[in-house]
Amino acid sequence: MTIMRRANEPHQIRQKQGAQKRQRSGEKASKHFHSDQLALPEDEIRRLVVLSTTRYKIEPLVGHLIKLMDELKAGHTYEIAKLTKPGRDESRGILLAAIAKTVNDGRTMAAYHTAYQAALYAYENTLDHLLAFHDYLDYLRQKGLGGP
């Protein structure tokens, strides 16, 4: 049951719990990946995603990132140039350029992790995320873990 509940917890809550554990163990709370595992710092990825998703719809960005991740996972790095062309969204262009540079530098997994992290941050801005959080709160209330 613990595994099922853990899978249903919203990402942001799991992220916060992980950060608290890292603080207790003396690590920096803001790092989930080592700096060489991402194309950009996490706070910059989040900033670019927030800028992009407040100006444009979330789903096209996430769809683009999914295609990018699938190509990287399949080892099709020659397709990256097409998938990282800048469009009208400057923030997305900066993110995709950093991913493309990382691939060109031979750091495919860092590019994949960057796209994955960006997709997670975009999801945090969706109605689905909000609804999942409300479901989680209801779950805790039903288990008697809520307040009075």
Structure tokens that stand for 36 in this block = 């060489």
* Token pair belonging to 66: 């999914």
CA distance 132 to 126: 10
Sequence spans of domains, the chain: 41-148
Q: For residues 36 and 102, what is the distance between their CA atoms, to the nearest angstrom?
A: 10
User: Does residue 45 have a pLDDT over 70?
Assistant: yes
Q: Given this model, what pLDDT does residue 122 score?
A: 92
User: What is the pLDDT of the chain when averaged over all its residues?
Assistant: 79
What is the pLDDT, as a whole number, of residue 146? 67
DSSP conformation class of 37:
G
Give the pLDDT score at 3: 41
Q: pLDDT digit string (tens) for 79-97? A: 777 777 767 888 998 999 9
Residue 63 pLDDT exceeds 50: yes
Judge whether residue 29 has pLDDT over 60.
no
Q: Which two tokens stand for residue 136?
A: 């989680």
CA dihedral 55, 11, 128, 138 (to 10 degrees): -140
pTM of the model: 0.68
